């Protein structure tokens, strides 16, 4: 193989989507004139991510454009925290994109999988219900996703709860509101559609045990993050109290963190995120680790089209029957942001065999949606 081109420039494009979301895209240019793209979205923390991308650029410009550079491995204890991991993971995605472009090969094939195919998606309808959080709005969103071909929908119903509420009566009112949303969705879609419930780590272990029992009544596909990721003892307490399928691990960085989480919690489904776990190579490594434990993998991806493309390549290459998150109904122009758009068929993401990621950022459209601050309530981040 000829000598790898060098990294010539690293820059960012921040695309405003909703009052909840900005997509942070990272563009890596090489000295042979190519450009690759990755995604580093971290809601409400865009300035920190941009600072970490700039720091990485100072370190990486002039280095070979290969996705296995040691400097790209995010460290769980790094000063920049999750923003550091997001920046490095996005650059890694972009370098895989560049390598695939250069070789004329899809990333899935570079990873040892097929050059084309499809992966199953589930529709996260949470951000399509920003204007109304009523049970009826949740049911309507779920109905729309099913009509669009999805056989699985995820809801995030427990607004306003802290993971350790101080006042039990107000907390119970918020819990009842969340349960009403869940039951409305199940009643709307019927028994033939998988319903996934994301608790956002809002419960303490004692409350989580009670809540899991109540949520079991709708026969959920899984119950996600009943307690915060960091509370490994609490996870084990919940695990030992139920036979329901439990999922989690979306903010873990590095293999050791995933190993510790899987081993300590007994989680059924681990949810690495390509934006934080080390990029595409990191996602593949976590998948191999989880497989060794007999744990299923369902990549976390409530983000933009670049992150979804990167996730789909790794999921296809894994050879496992993974289900991947898709932010359904967040914006009407999502697929227009990347050349060729996104091909969805029957609730599946289709990879047609184009080189690299197979998508290119439409910078003209991106410029029409410049960064805007998104007031994120603290409880959305206190996992």
Residue 340 confidence (pLDDT)? 80
For the chain, which residues make up each domain, given as ranges?
7-105, 109-356
From CA 46, how far away is CA 53, in angstroms rounded? 10
From CA 314, how far away is CA 316, in angstroms rounded? 5
Residue 79 confidence (pLDDT)? 76
CB atoms within 10 A of CB 164: 16
- Asked if 29 and 91 count as a contact pair (C-beta separation under 8 A), the reply is no
Tens digit of each residue's pLDDT, the chain (383 residues): 468 999 999 999 999 999 989 999 999 999 999 999 999 999 999 999 999 999 999 999 999 999 999 999 988 777 789 999 999 999 999 999 999 999 999 999 999 999 999 999 999 999 899 889 999 999 999 999 999 999 999 999 999 887 555 566 678 899 999 999 999 999 999 999 999 999 999 999 999 999 999 999 999 999 999 999 999 999 999 999 999 999 999 999 999 999 999 999 999 999 999 999 999 999 999 999 999 999 999 999 999 999 999 999 999 999 998 999 999 999 999 999 998 889 999 999 999 999 999 999 999 999 999 999 876 544 433 33
Residue 379 confidence (pLDDT)? 41
Residue 381 confidence (pLDDT)? 36
Residue 382 confidence (pLDDT)? 35
One-character DSSP codes across 215-261: HGGG--SEEE-SS-TT-HHHHHHHHTT--S-EEE-TT--SHHHHHHH
* CATH number of the structural domain 7-105: 3.30.390.10
Instruction: Given CATH 3.20.20.120, say whether it is the number of domain 109-356.
Output: yes
Residue 164 confidence (pLDDT)? 56
Closest to 14 in 3D by CA, of 75, 86, 64: 86
């Amino acid at each position: 193989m000829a000598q790898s081109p060098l990294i010539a420039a690293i820059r960012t494009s921040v695309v405003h989507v909703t009052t909840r979301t900005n997509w942070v895209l990272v563009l890596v240019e090489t000295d042979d004139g190519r450009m690759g793209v990755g995604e580093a979205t971290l809601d409400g923390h865009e300035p920190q991510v941009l600072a970490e991308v700039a720091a990485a650029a100072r370190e990486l410009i002039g280095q070979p454009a290969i996705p296995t550079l040691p400097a790209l491995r995010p460290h769980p204890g790094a000063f920049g925290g999750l923003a550091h991991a997001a920046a490095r993971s996005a650059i890694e995605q972009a370098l895989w994109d560049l390598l695939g472009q250069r070789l004329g090969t899809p990333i899935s094939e570079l990873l040892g999988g097929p050059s084309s195919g499809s992966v199953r998606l589930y529709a996260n309808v949470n951000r399509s219900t920003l204007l109304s959080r009523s049970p009826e709005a949740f049911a309507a969103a779920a109905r729309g996703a099913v009509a669009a071909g999805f056989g699985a929908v995820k809801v995030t119903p427990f607004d306003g709860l802290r993971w350790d509420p101080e006042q039990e009566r107000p907390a119970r009112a918020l819990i009842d509101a969340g349960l009403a949303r869940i039951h409305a969705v199940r009643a709307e879609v019927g028994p033939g559609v998988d319903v996934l419930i994301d608790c956002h780590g809002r419960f303490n272990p004692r409350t989580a045990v009670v809540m899991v029992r109540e949520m079991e009544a709708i026969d959920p596909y899984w119950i996600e993050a009943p307690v915060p990721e960091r509370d490994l003892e609490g996870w084990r307490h919940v695990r030992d109290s139920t036979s329901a399928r439990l999922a989690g691990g979306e903010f873990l960085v590095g293999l050791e963190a995933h190993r510790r989480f899987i081993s300590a919690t007994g989680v059924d489904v681990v949810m690495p995120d390509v934006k934080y776990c080390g990029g595409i190579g990191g996602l593949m490594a976590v998948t191999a680790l989880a497989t060794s434990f007999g744990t299923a993998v369902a990549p976390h991806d409530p983000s933009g089209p670049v992150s979804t493309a990167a996730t789909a390549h790794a999921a296809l290459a894994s050879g496992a029957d993974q289900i991947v998150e898709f932010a359904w109904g967040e914006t009407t122009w999502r697929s227009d942001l990347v050349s060729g758009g996104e091909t969805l068929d029957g609730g599946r993401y289709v990879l047609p065999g184009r080189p690299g990621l197979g998508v290119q950022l439409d910078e003209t459209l991106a410029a029409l949606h410049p960064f805007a601050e998104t007031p994120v309530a603290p409880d959305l981040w206190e996992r």
